[in-house]
Each structure stands twice: as C-alpha cells, then as structure tokens.
Amino acid sequence: MKNSSFTLPFAIIASSLIFGLTTGLSAKETGFYLHGGITYWDGFDASSLDDEIPLPGLSIDHELNDSRAKLSLGVGFHLDDQWSFEGFYVSTPEQEFSGTNWMFPPFQPGGDPISVTWSATTNQTIGGISAIYDHHINDNLSLFGKGGIAFVRHESSHTISAENLPDIVLENIIPPTFSDKEDTQEIFGAIGARIPIMQGRAGLTLAYQFIQTDDDPETSFEIGFQWNL
C-alpha cells in the first residue's frame, strides 16, 4: 500500500489529538455512550498446522482473504467518572488454508496412490462484554484498562478432492465438502488512552487488545471514537 493511502487518516488523528489537548476532559456523567472504531489484527501471519497434522509429504499453505482492518462497534454505560461497562462486536480476517500431497493408499492392489487436495476457509465473529476503568492523568488524558468475556463463534468450510483421480468418489472415506461451527468463551482484555474532543462530549481512543481465538491468543490495535449520549 502506498504511503499516500495513510495521509488522510493520519491527518485526522493528528488534528483530533491537537484539538483534544485544547478542549479539556469534562467529567463523564452517568449514562449511555456509543463506540465505533477500526481494529487492526496484527497476527494471523503463518499456519501452524504442519506440526499438528504429521502426515508424510503433506504441505499446507496459508493466506488472508481480506483486510486485517475490521470495523468494531460497541455500546456502553458510564457508572461514574471512572467505571463503565461495554458490550462490543468485532470480527477477524478470513483465512484460507490449503493442503496438497495428502496421500491415501490405492483402492486396488497395484493401483496408483490417491493424492488428495484439501482447502478450508476460517473466520471468527466476536461479541462480548467488558468492564472499563479510567485513570485520569490530567484534564487532557485518561488511561484505561478493559477486562471481560468474549463469546467467539469459529466458522470454517472445507473442500476435499482427489487431485490425480478426479472421477473417484471419496464420500465413503471423507466428505467432499463440509462446514464446522464452534462457540467458545474466551478472556478479553485491553489497555489504552482516551483523549477528549468536541469539548469533552466525545473522545478519541487508542487501544491495544488481546483475545483468545482458536488455539492461539490474538492481538490487535484499535483506533476508536466514543460519543456520550
């Protein structure tokens, strides 16, 4: 991606920071707020399935099918100037895995071994609830921490075919296509900073987040905007 693609977002963030430092952080009143932002997932770099499926000759490739940046949404309630509760939603990038050289023995004596190709797409959608504590450094800056539970839905779809014997039917051995879905509860956490804008009615938030997805913890960065209702 060219550097010019980042010029406008960085200009907006810089302007918000400069303007926020001049507005002052007004005390949060009890009530609801809306939150929206962009979450950038910095993980999902490589597949670990080669070690988990010890089949001779099996090679697994991995790639992302879409952007690492995902829209994140939330609605929360201020209990007081320091404590809040928030419900949130975000998704992870869709990943694609493909495996080749999955060898099966021939169906008949003297026949050719069956070379199977496998592919799968996976993604997670995440909703949860967290408690938030704000520590006010001064009138222009607040540091916060989040902790809570995330309800993660893992979805995947799989396709399997015989590469060297395309007419062979594998249904009695392995389904040619199938889907899988699993719901888990995971720990969610974040730390970040909040800077007031628009005379303290709104705030710009910068956060580092972590969550357990599948077998590995995943981390992300969020740039968000909060509006007090």
Q: Answer yes or no: is pLDDT of 136 > 70.
A: yes
- Please determine, for residue 70, whether its predicted confidence score (pLDDT) is greater than 60: yes
Give pLDDT tens digits for 1-30. 333 344 444 444 444 444 444 444 444 568
Q: Cα–Cα distance between 224 and 71 in angstroms, integer?
A: 10
Find the mean pLDDT for residues 46-67: 63
Mean pLDDT of 176-180: 78
Domain range enclosing 92: 3-228
Query: What local confidence, expressed as pLDDT, does residue 212 receive?
Result: 75
Lowest mean pLDDT among 16-30, 157-171, 183-197: 16-30
**How many structural domains does the chain have?**
1
pLDDT at 97: 83
Of these ranges, 31-35, 52-56, 99-103, the one predicted with the greatest mean pLDDT is: 31-35
What's the pTM value of the predicted model, to 2 decimals? Answer: 0.72
Q: What is the CATH number of the domain that holds 171?
A: 2.40.160.20
pLDDT over threshold 90, residue 128: yes
Report residue 32's pLDDT band, with 50, 70 and 90 as the boundaries: very high
pLDDT over 90, % of the chain: 39
